[in-house]
Amino acid sequence: MPALPWMTISHAPPDTECTVMASKLPLRSFLHIPRFLRWTLRIRRQLADAEGLVGYSLDAHLLRRTFWTASAWTDAAALRAFSGANPHRDATTSIRPMMLPSTFVFWTCPASDLPVRWDEVRRRVAGEEGAQVPSEPG
């Protein structure tokens, strides 16, 4: 399944320092993919109206039962507000039992460096996988 192309939601001036969040979300079983995808659709609708969101992308590796996300925000507070609001908050509670340990990484970059490239996401996630965090809201 090809990666969902970067969706620009709002344009930030090139020198805006954005907060980037990337995740690797592995599922325990193929049986969990339909439920995970239903939550993904709900979260994408939430993203369309999320205050402070600059853009996002999703890369689904169905045969590996692994989903990758990348998003850029005008600041960390906007990211926290999104992750603490529904449907994202309910999704994390619902899917947590279906997940293997997930990895979340955060960094900042100027808006001129967006969109985030998948090779950068994978490099940064790989650097954090030795210290995986439990599946918690990111």
Strands of the sheet with 17-26, listed across from one edge: 4-8, 53-61, 66-73, 17-26, 103-110
pLDDT of residue 132: 43
Mean pLDDT, each 10-residue run in order, the chain (138 residues): 86 95 97 96 95 97 96 96 96 96 96 95 83 41
Closest by CA to 54, choosing from 114, 122, 103, 98, is 114
Domain boundary assignment for the chain = 4-131
pLDDT of residue 134: 40
| Token reading at 100 | 């293997």
> Which of the listed CATH numbers 3.30.70.100, 3.40.50.150, 1.10.1060.10, 1.20.1540.10 matches domain 4-131?
3.30.70.100
pTM value is 0.88
pLDDT of residue 2: 66
